[in-house]
């Protein structure tokens, strides 16, 4: 308190001048319409600028909540896609009561489950994501995993509340994909070099390929067969003269450096498909 009084005593003349100046300006702006309007314009512009900055700051701190809301909305829309259903085969088709159908007798083949990414790696030869959704929430190994921009990977291991997902940036992970324009199929894998690119192999040289073309999931992929999910875009075409196939350098559509939310895709008929394929192979062994 003593320091306050010393400060006032030291600068009393200046403070008195400042008080008189404020009083004079107050009279000027209050009783002169022109100056009052000019002051209100300046004050409005200043307060507007402050409010805009505050609004931007508030929006920044709300981004996480907004992202969660968008993820939930995307999940709801994905669940409504017609690709999740397929028409029943006829009046004699037997449908298990555990498989959801709708009034049009469409069998639900795919179920989407949202999950938050709680751990990830991109600088290893075998990169993984850890998601906060596990066996208690319906996740099982071999389910496909996609993100808002496209394919992410496949569920590899599951605990009660978490799951490990090996991604496109894993040298041991492969997925069947196709050219969006021509439909030629090949295998996408990672060479372990740059995390910015994966490789699409076994595309015949008869295919019409150009830089910038889209690569999507193939219908023959058991994980993503119902959806033309993006894998990425072609960045480079390698023409191997000793082979009849192109090797295509593809930039993944999913940014594995900042991915926060994913969707686990359950193919409710996968076990039936696998059982049929395995029993068919056994007939030729």
> Would the pLDDT of 266 be above 80?
yes
| Confidence grade of residue 158 (pLDDT, cut at 50, 70, 90) | very high
For the chain, domain boundaries: 2-60, 175-252
Structure token digits, residue 235: 């960045």
* 51-60, 91-100, 160-169, 239-248: least confident range: 91-100
| Residue 154, strand partner residues | 144, 166
What CATH number was assigned to the domain covering residues 175-252?
2.40.10.350
> Would the pLDDT of 170 be above 90?
yes
Structure pTM?
0.64
What is the C-alpha to C-alpha distance for residues 198 and 195, in angstroms, rounded to an integer? 8
Please count the other Cβ atoms lying within 10 Å of the Cβ belonging to residue 86.
Answer: 14
What is the C-alpha to C-alpha distance for residues 225 and 176, in angstroms, rounded to an integer? 10
| Confidence grade of residue 51 (pLDDT, cut at 50, 70, 90) | low
Burial of 280 (0-12, 13-18, 19+ CB in 10 A): exposed
């Amino acid at each position: 308190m003593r320091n306050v009084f010393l400060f006032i005593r030291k600068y009393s003349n200046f403070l008195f001048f400042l008080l008189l100046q404020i009083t004079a300006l107050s009279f000027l702006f209050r009783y002169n319409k022109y100056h009052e309007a000019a002051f209100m314009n300046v004050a409005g512009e200043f307060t507007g600028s402050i409010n805009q900055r505050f609004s931007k700051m508030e929006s920044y701190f709300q981004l996480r909540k907004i992202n969660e809301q968008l993820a939930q909305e995307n999940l709801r829309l994905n669940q409504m896609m017609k690709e999740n259903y397929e028409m029943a085969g006829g009046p004699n088709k037997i449908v298990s009561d555990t498989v959801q159908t709708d009034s049009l007798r469409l069998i639900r083949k795919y179920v989407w489950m949202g999950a938050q990414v709680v751990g990830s790696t991109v600088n290893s030869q075998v990169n993984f994501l850890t998601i906060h959704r596990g066996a208690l929430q319906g996740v099982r190994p071999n389910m496909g995993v996609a993100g808002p921009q496209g394919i992410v990977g496949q569920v590899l291991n599951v605990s009660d509340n978490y799951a490990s997902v090996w991604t496109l940036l894993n040298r041991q992970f492969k997925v069947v994909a196709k050219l969006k324009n021509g439909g030629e199929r090949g295998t996408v894998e990672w060479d372990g070099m740059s995390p910015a690119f994966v490789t699409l192999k076994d595309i015949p040289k008869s295919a019409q390929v150009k830089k910038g073309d889209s690569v999507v999931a193939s219908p023959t992929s058991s994980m993503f067969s119902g959806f033309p999910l993006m894998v990425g875009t072609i960045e480079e075409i390698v023409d191997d003269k000793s082979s009849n196939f192109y090797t295509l350098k593809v930039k993944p559509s999913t940014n594995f450096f900042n991915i926060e939310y994913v969707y686990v895709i359950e193919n409710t008929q996968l076990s039936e498909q696998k059982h049929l394929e395995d029993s068919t192979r056994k007939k030729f062994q």
